Copies of this chain bind each other. A is one copy, B any other.
């Protein structure tokens, strides 16, 4: 019998909680029958939702807790109050105790990251974890990191982000040597902050077998899919991600209003509606929902807080894929194999 993929769910996380998490788990289970779920949450809220879904009931186990981390709680506060008993904490504990392969939560990002760091600790050689997003592009998908875990990054941290992001691209896209670009204000070598220039020299000098550093990229290159892995610090990455999401929403709204204006355009819309359905699916931020916490001794997936069941299922799918493709082993391999992953600073500052 092939081994099951064991997924721990924070059943109370997100703006909606169990009413989205449980149906989302069901959707993902129908796509991946080899999932085993371990749900943490309030029995009164979660159990009826599981019981009404026979397939899920077979594949899920519920652990009761009535402690929930609120969406607006400060990370420090969530850690003090919810470290031992909250549904979020218990899901991470399951990964730590190796009772689950991955934890998925739609809860408060700051609290989830604080708890994941506190419980799982960073991998040897990594000082700060990152959040990586799968970004739909014209050429398929790219890994973009950091999209919000750490604010500010020195050259060494950017170098580590490149290593972690390319390990993820190897795991998810099945590439031997993914291409990596550093996000900057311009592609000319003369522009941008000093630490980004330094990280570029470090990546070029290290010439790692697991990634191909191609140089600086700009914001326009993300959607174009110029590289497999886009590296930037967390504030800029988070702003880029949310700005792209906002632009997609904006264009969808324009489209809706433009196409409803005359009978010709309304008729045209009716005829082309299948094409529009495809399009909506492609630009729907929910499709790529879920960020992967990288650099910890365990995989944690953050789903958007304001999500629906289909989008939560996408985050669960992502967790499933990570386990299947051996993400952690890939990162450990790169870090262990490459002494350059902890570069000798004296050599790289010019």
Chain A contact residues, CB within 8 Å of chain B: 72, 74-75, 109-110, 137-138, 148, 151-152, 183-186, 188, 190-193, 218-224, 232, 234-236, 238-251, 253-255, 258-259, 261-262, 264-265, 267-276, 278-279, 282-283
Contacts and interface: CB of A to CB of B under 8 A. Distances in A.
Contacts of A234: 185
A242 B224 contact: no
Contacts of A223: 243, 246-247, 249-250
Nearest to A279: B258
Contact of A259 (B184, B235, B275): B275
Q: Count copies of this chain in the complex.
A: 2
A186 B261 CA distance: 36
Given A190-B74, A247-B247, A268 B272 contact: yes
A254 B279 contact: yes
15 contacts: A74-B190, A152-B193, A183-B239, A185-B239, A218-B242, A219-B246, A232-B239, A239-B239, A239-B240, A244-B246, A247-B247, A254-B283, A258-B279, A261-B275, A268-B275
A224 B249 contact: yes
A244 B239 CA distance: 10
Contacts of A251: 247-248, 251, 279, 283
A198 to B, nearest CB: 14
A244 to B, nearest CB: 4
**Which residue of A193, A259, A275 has the most chain B CB atoms within 10 A of its CB atom?**
A275
Contacts of A267: 268, 271-272
A137 B250 CA distance: 7
A248 B248 CA distance: 7
A235 B268 contact: no
A272 B275 contact: no
Contact of A274 (B72, B246, B265, B269): B265
A110 B191 contact: yes
Contacts of A186: 109-110
Nearest to A109: B186
A245 B219 contact: yes
Closest 3 CB pairs of A and B: A219-B242, A268-B272, A268-B271
A14 to B, nearest CB: 15
A74 B234 CA distance: 28
Contacts of A261: 275
B185 A238 contact: yes
A250 to B, nearest CB: 4
A264 B255 contact: no
A134 to B, nearest CB: 15
B254 A282 contact: yes
Given A193-B235, A223-B247, 11 more contacts: A151-B185, A184-B235, A218-B239, A218-B242, A232-B239, A240-B240, A243-B247, A254-B283, A264-B272, A265-B271, A268-B272
